[in-house]
Chains A and B, each alone.
Chain A
Amino acid sequence: MQIAGIIWLAMLGWLQAAALDFPVVFKEVHAPADAKTVTVDFEFANHTDKPVNVTKYDAACSCISVQIKEGKLRYAPGEAGLIRTEFDMGNFSGAVDKMVAVWLDDDAPDKPSLALTVRVHIPVLVALEPKTLKWDLNGTPEAKTIHIQMNYQKPIRVISVNSSSEAFKYELKTLEDGRSYDLVVTPTDMRTPGLGIFRIETDCLIPKHRIQQAFATVRKPSPAPAAVKP
Chain B
Amino acid sequence: MKPWRQLVLLVCIALAAAGATWWHKGPPNRLFHCDPAALKPDEVCLESIPADAAVVWIDARPRAAWQKSGVPGSLLWNLDPAEDMQAFEAAAAVRIAVTPRVIVYCSDENCGVSRQVAARIRSLDLGAQVAVLRGGWRALSEAGRVKK
Q: Which residues of A contact B (CB under 8 A)?
A: 1, 3-4, 7-8, 60-63, 88-92, 96-99, 101, 110-112, 115, 117, 130-132, 134, 164, 193-195, 197, 199, 211-213, 215, 217, 219, 222
Contacts and interface: CB of A to CB of B under 8 A. Distances in A.
A134 B90 contact: no
Interface stretch (B35-43, B77-85, B140-148): B77-85
B148 to A, nearest CB: 21
A115 B10 contact: no
Nearest to A2: B3
Contacts of B7: 4, 7-8
Nearest to B78: A61
A203 B107 CA distance: 38
Contacts of B125: 130-132, 134
A174 B116 CA distance: 34
B49 interface: no
B6 A62 contact: no
Contact of B79 (A96, A117, A132): A96
Nearest to A115: B110
Interface string B109-135: 111110010000001111100000000
B34 interface: no
Top 3 A-B pairs, shortest CB-CB distance? A90-B81, A4-B6, A3-B3
Contact of B94 (A99, A195, A199): A195
Interface residues of B, number: 38
B93 A1 contact: no
Nearest to A98: B79
Contact of A60 (B81, B107, B123, B127): B107
Contacts of B112: 60, 97, 99, 115, 117
Interface of B: 1, 3-4, 6-7, 10, 61-62, 78-86, 89-90, 93-94, 97, 100, 106-113, 116, 123-127, 138
A106 B106 CA distance: 24
15 contacts: A1-B1, A4-B4, A60-B106, A60-B111, A61-B113, A63-B81, A90-B82, A91-B81, A92-B85, A98-B79, A99-B112, A110-B138, A131-B123, A131-B124, A164-B90
Contacts of B61: 60
Contacts of A117: 112
Contact of A132 (B83, B90, B126): B126
A194 B123 CA distance: 19
A164 B87 CA distance: 13
B97 A195 contact: yes
Contacts of A60: 61, 106-107, 111-113
B80 A134 contact: no
A164 B110 CA distance: 38
Contact of B81 (A88, A132, A164, A193): A88
A89 B113 CA distance: 16
B126 A91 contact: no
Nearest to B94: A195
A213 B86 contact: yes
A63 B116 CA distance: 15
Contacts of A63: 79-82
Given A60-B107, A60-B111, A63-B81, A4 B10 contact: yes
